[in-house]
Amino acid sequence: MSGSNSGVTVTLTMDGMERTARLPLIPGTIGPSVADIRKMYGELGIFTFDPGYGGTAACDSKITYIDGDEGVLLHRGYPIEELAEHSTFLEVAYLLLNGDLPNAAENEEFHEGVTRHTMLHEQLRSFFNGFRRDAHPMAVLCGVVGAMSAFYHDSLDINDENHRRISAFRLIAKLPTIAAWAYKYSIGQPFIYPRNDLGYAENFLHMLNAVPAEPYHVNPILARAMDRILILHADHEQNASTSTVRLAGSTGANPFACIAAGIASLWGPAHGGANEAVLKMLAEIGHVSHIPDFIEKVKDKHSSVRLMGFGHRVYKNYDPRAKIMQRTCHEVLGELGIKGDPLLDLAAELEKIALHDEYFVSRKLYPNVDFYSGIILKAMGIPTSMFTALFAVARTVGWISQWKEMIEDPAQRIGRPRQVYTGSPRRGFVPIEARG
């Protein structure tokens, strides 16, 4: 960690003991400062205990800032609302990777760089045939992205800046192709090759929906909606999958292996799998009249039912992305002529009730980005099983930016958390015949 000391210290004294540790305070540009505990073990002989890392900064980063209480999300200083409104996904990708928005020439060069890497090594095609047709697209994504390190040997040296750059291009460019092919494979349709005359989101929709038998025209409103969804999912600070990528990368593992690890982590229903889980939940509820019973189950501590698409580890306010997603949802449904969609009605009613119910209000549980994204994607004809894969396509940009930032930090070292051991104290081996 390269965070600079503010000169201010936090003093920690152990009750009943003379020993005191002075912990330097590291300020952020905005947001709370953090106490640097690296020397605490040496000085006091104790570690900190923070399961789930809710109170621990694992790194310093210049990429994304979240104020969970105020519902603020900034990428390199730019508010997500402005990026979603005025920017494109590839511009945001450039911003996350390089620190600033591209000028016209940089933008063109970056587009060209991504575009020239959209095709997969043809031998990777046969990889797909090894999966069962009913494999979840995330399983396919995880496997194929992991396998990329066996195909692109020329960009695996993590200490070579040019290798890192090419790997970033390859990952950003090929993820849509891999995700779309995972889908095509599952429905038994031929793979559609990327078209470099189309924009990033347009090309992705084309590879998902086109068939060789007839021309396919991508609706520009849907392409814009897809681009916005990708922007909204591009990065989100040190979430579970990003931390997984950083932890894997801290060992010196190659970027393809690290992103495969991120994909595996994203898959869980508490993280990227939530938008899929929202739709399953809405289908299970079935009708507005069943909402009160469902809410009772959610509140019952013995039921383990959660209101999917609600709550967030960091946001204790409206997720700013959820607001943009809600607007996009109405645009998409309007464009597609979907009026009075029962799922949307159900979602709106659920949101209304949850926002006023004491259980959710007192726990600061607000809708998160996934609450509406599932409904938009469903309306766009994207199958539910592809939702998390789509999230992975977008988040690859954040993962690779965070990985790059970590590798380029001279103070970077292997991530290795400690533990508080609560198992048996030392004991002698008991021969099997003497065990009760």
- Are residues 361 and 355 in contact, defined by beta-carbon separation less than 8 angstroms? yes
Contact call for residue 370 and ligand ACO (CB under 6 A): yes
For residue 413, the minimal CB distance to ligand ACO (Å) is: 28
Gap between the Cα atoms of 380 and 331, Å rounded: 11
431 contacts: CB under 8 Å, gap ≥ 6: none
**Which of 255, 311, 320, 374 is in the footprint of ligand ACO by CB under 6 A?**
311
For residue 241, the minimal CB distance to ligand ACO (Å) is: 8
Could you write out the three-class secondary structure of the chain? CCCCCCCCEEEEECCCCCCEEEEEEECCCCCCCEECCCCHHHHHCCCCCCHHHCCCCCCCCCCEEEECCCCEEEECCEEHHHHHHHCCHHHHHHHHHHCCCCCHHHHHHHHHHHHCCCCCCCCHHHHHHCCCCCCCHHHHHHHHHHHHHHCCHHHCCCCCHHHHHHHHHHHHHHHHHHHHHHHHHHHCCCCCCCCCCCCHHHHHHHHHHCECCECCCCCHHHHHHHHHHHHHCCCCCCCHHHHHHHHHHCCCCCHHHHHHHHHHHHCCCCCCCHHHHHHHHHHHHCCHHHHHHHHHHHHCCCCCCCCCCECCCCCCCCCHHHHHHHHHHHHHHHHCCCCCCHHHHHHHHHHHHHHHCHHHHHCCCCECCHHHHHHHHHHCCCCHHHHHHHHHHHHHHHHHHHHHHHHCCCCCCCCCCCCCCCCCCCCCCCCHHHCC
Give whichever of 226 and 350 is closer to ligand ACO, judged by the CB atom: 350
For residue 291, the minimal CB distance to ligand ACO (Å) is: 14
**Which of 97, 120, 298, 389 is in the footprint of ligand ACO by CB under 6 A?**
298
**Which of 73, 92, 192, 369 is in the footprint of ligand ACO by CB under 6 A?**
369
Contact call for residue 149 and ligand ACO (CB under 6 A): no
Identify which range of 57-65, 158-166, 215-223, 264-272 contacts ligand ACO by CB under 6 A.
264-272
Identify which range of 71-79, 93-101, 362-370, 411-419 contacts ligand ACO by CB under 6 A.
362-370
Give whichever of 150 and 270 is closer to ligand ACO, judged by the CB atom: 270
For residue 323, the minimal CB distance to ligand ACO (Å) is: 14
Identify which range of 79-87, 102-110, 142-150, 307-315 contacts ligand ACO by CB under 6 A.
307-315
Identify which range of 107-115, 139-147, 179-187, 309-317 contacts ligand ACO by CB under 6 A.
309-317
Is residue 370 part of the annotated active site? The answer reads yes
For residue 274, the minimal CB distance to ligand ACO (Å) is: 3
Contact call for residue 307 and ligand ACO (CB under 6 A): yes
Give whichever of 65 and 128 is closer to ligand ACO, judged by the CB atom: 65
**Which of 274, 282, 295, 380 is in the footprint of ligand ACO by CB under 6 A?**
274
- Number of residues binding to ligand ACO, judged by CB under 6 A: 18
Contact call for residue 243 and ligand ACO (CB under 6 A): no
Contact call for residue 297 and ligand ACO (CB under 6 A): no
Contact call for residue 306 and ligand ACO (CB under 6 A): yes
For residue 312, the minimal CB distance to ligand ACO (Å) is: 5
Contact call for residue 310 and ligand ACO (CB under 6 A): yes
Catalytic residue, candidates 111, 233, 312, 319: 312
Name the site residues for ligand ACO (rule: CB under 6 A). 270-272, 274, 298, 306-313, 363, 365, 368-370
Q: Provide the annotated active-site residues.
A: 312, 370
